[in-house]
Structure 1
Amino acid sequence: MDINLIISISSIVIAVSALGATIYQAYLNRKHNRIAVTPHLHYWSKNDELNNTYSLEVINNGIGPARITKFELMLNGTIVEEKGMSKVSNTISKVFSGYELQMSSAYLDHDNCISPNQSIRIFNIIFHESSSISERKFKELLNQMRLVITYESFYNDSFKLDSDV
């Protein structure tokens, strides 16, 4: 065999190997980047029966921001069609009608983002002393509601937080 032919074949093998390694490295890099911007939303509830205070937060404990694509609230299995800030507050008022309370609430609109380690308080309810409620009764009434949040990463990977509140 001619030495020039051996050198040529060796050069081709090295070049193809380098190309394969580069393509594989690009694949791993893209996979890593996708993981590096993955959000993870979950609910966090805080119940202080002693002070008649109950709250629900959505927390992003993922690495990347969560872009909200859908915020659905259901009452007794029926989707609440209201839009905006009154969606949560009016639904809570219906669930706890007959109780005297103070409330603050939030609404996540389409394309809102929740940054990593950020939390959004969906509601905070303080029952007046004359309308105190046990944690058991609170949860029983709150089970009439269901909150479903659909969100995505900046790579458009879709996720859903679906929980009986």
Structure 2
Amino acid sequence: MDNCMEIIIASAAALIALCSLFVAVWQGYVSRKHARLSVMPHLDLHIAVSEQAPFIGLSLENNGLGTARIRDIKISKLTNNEATIVVDNNSGWHDLLNAFDIKQTGVSWASISTDEAIPSGNEHHFLSIDKTSTELSDLKDKLRAMVDQMLIRVEYESLYSERKTLEWQRTKS
């Protein structure tokens, strides 16, 4: 009888240990999932053409919870629904402005390099129009026309190397 009781106690202890192991593994899984979500970036394209805005131009804005690390950026001009890559990881800004007949006076751009980080709540202005330019009205009209014919594709990742893609194209309504 003593031997049977020892077997029951040992079996119960082993069962409790297995249950504890399962709970610990599950808790680790849930904790890791939560940690990944708590640092997930979310990039949006911000287009500003109003003179009341802090700037006039295009920017990438990180509205997520974590830092976004840029992996690739391509800006294409759409002609008859065919995309022609003009800017590929910072080369081609002159060509982009020339493709839309935008004079480079009064317009500036900032490169967005691969591995560049955009912290949560920040934005990176990559194309800006000088508000004091004498050709401000013309530049804003050309910016609107350019936005209507652009396809922007940005690949970025979180701190956990989870990749996401922002693909933006103006939809005609």
Give TM class, smaller chain: 0.7 to 0.9
Q: How does 1:44-123 map to 2 (within 5 A)?
A: 44-48=46-50, 54-76=56-78, 77-80=83-86, 84=90, 87-97=92-102, 101-123=105-127
Q: Which runs of 5+ in 2 are unaligned?
A: none
Over aligned residue pairs, what C-alpha RMSD do you find? 2.7
The one-letter amino acid of 2:111's match is: Y
- Matched residue count: 162
Q: TM-score, normalised by structure 1?
A: 0.82
Q: Are 2:169 and 1:164 aligned?
A: yes
Given that residues 155 and 166 in structure 2 are in contact (C-alpha distance below 8 angstroms), is that contact kept between their aligned partners in structure 1? yes
Given that residues 105 and 123 in structure 1 are in contact (C-alpha distance below 8 angstroms), is that contact kept between their aligned partners in structure 2? yes
Q: Which residue of 2 aligns with 1:149?
A: 154
Q: Percent identity?
A: 27
Instruction: Measure the CA separation in 2 of the matches of 1:106 and 1:100.
Output: 13
- What's the CA shift for 1:124? 1.0
Q: Which runs of 5+ in 1 are unaligned?
A: none
Q: TM-score, normalised by structure 2?
A: 0.79
Q: Go from structure 1 to structure 2 and tell me whether the alpha carbon gap of 1:72 and 1:54 turns closer, same or farther (over 3 Å shift).
A: same
Q: Go from structure 1 to structure 2 and tell me whether the alpha carbon gap of 1:89 and 1:140 turns closer, same or farther (over 3 Å shift).
A: same
Q: Go from structure 1 to structure 2 and tell me whether the alpha carbon gap of 1:49 and 1:61 turns closer, same or farther (over 3 Å shift).
A: closer
Q: How does 1:128-143 map to 2 (within 5 A)?
A: 128-130=133-135, 132-133=137-138, 138-143=143-148
- What's the CA shift for 1:83? 5.6
Q: More deviation in 125-134 or 41-50?
A: 125-134
Q: How does 1:35-50 map to 2 (within 5 A)?
A: 35-48=37-50
- What's the CA shift for 1:140? 2.7
Instruction: Measure the CA separation in 1 of the matches of 2:111 and 2:104.
Output: 22
